[in-house]
Structure formats: C-alpha cells, structure tokens
Amino acid sequence: MPSFISMLRRRDGASAVEFAIIAPVFIVGLLSMVGYAIYLSASASVQQMTEEAARAAVAGLSPQERQTLAQNAVALSMKNRAFIDPNRVVVTVSGQDTERYTIQVAYDSADLPIWSLFTYALPSSKMITRTSVMRVGGA
C-alpha cells in the first residue's frame, strides 16, 4: 500500500482536478453569453420593427393612416422573428399634431427563457422599447 506522501507527489489526476475547478466557471460564462445573445437578438428585432414601421408610416396622410400603416408593418415583420411573441408587442404613433411624429414599439420580453436562468448578466428591465422620430411628409 502506497504511503500518504507518495500519493501527494503523484500527478496523474491533476488534469481532472483542474477540469473540475475550471469547467463550472467556463459553462456559466458560456451560458451567460448565449442568454445575452438571445436578449440582444430580441432587442435588435424590436429595433428593426421600429425602423420598418417608421418607413411605412411616412406614406400616411392622416394620423389614423400612419397608425394603421405602422401596425401593419410591424405585424408583417413579426412573422420572421424567432424570439418575438406577437401578442406582447405594442405599437404607438404619437405627436402627430406637430411637424414630427414618434413611433414607438415596445415588447414585453418576460416570456423569454433567459429570465429564468441568468438574470444577473441581463438588464433589469424586461420591457424592450425602441423609438423612431419622423417628420410629417417624410425626410
């Protein structure tokens, strides 16, 4: 039977011990990056929908028509979005009495799977809101 001192000098299990120390940190870091990528993908989708709504609303001649065009553009755009639930998107067109109007798209991302896993690496608000300001008549 080997002595205790000879067991301390052996190196054949060093890689397993190093792996056991480093692996949890690596896995948590990797999963945090995946979670943040999902959040950024949803955020970029909301930004893109806002831009498409603004482009579509330029063609509107009245406030009601701008609102309808913006909502239709967002509805069409949502069909191709992986992390966007159409029931949680709100489109608002405001400030149409002045020479500029504001289009705001808000998305409640509370249903994304990342909020139940890694909330420490994500923003505190689950509401993703993007705004675009356009002149009446375009340009």
Query: Does pTM top 0.85 for this prediction?
Result: no
Mean pLDDT of 80-87: 84
Q: Average pLDDT, whole number, for the chain?
A: 84
22-56 per-position pLDDT tens digit = 999 999 888 888 888 888 899 999 999 999 998 88
In the sheet with 89-94, reading across from the earlier edge strand, the strands are 89-94, 100-108, 127-135
pLDDT at residue 61 tops 90? no
- Which CATH architecture best describes the domain 11-135? 2-Layer Sandwich (3.30)
3-state secondary structure of 125: coil
**What is the C-alpha to C-alpha distance for residues 122 and 124, in angstroms, rounded to an integer?**
6
Torsion of CA 71, 77, 83, 85, to 10 degrees: 30
Residue type, 25: V
**What is the C-alpha to C-alpha distance for residues 53 and 56, in angstroms, rounded to an integer?**
5
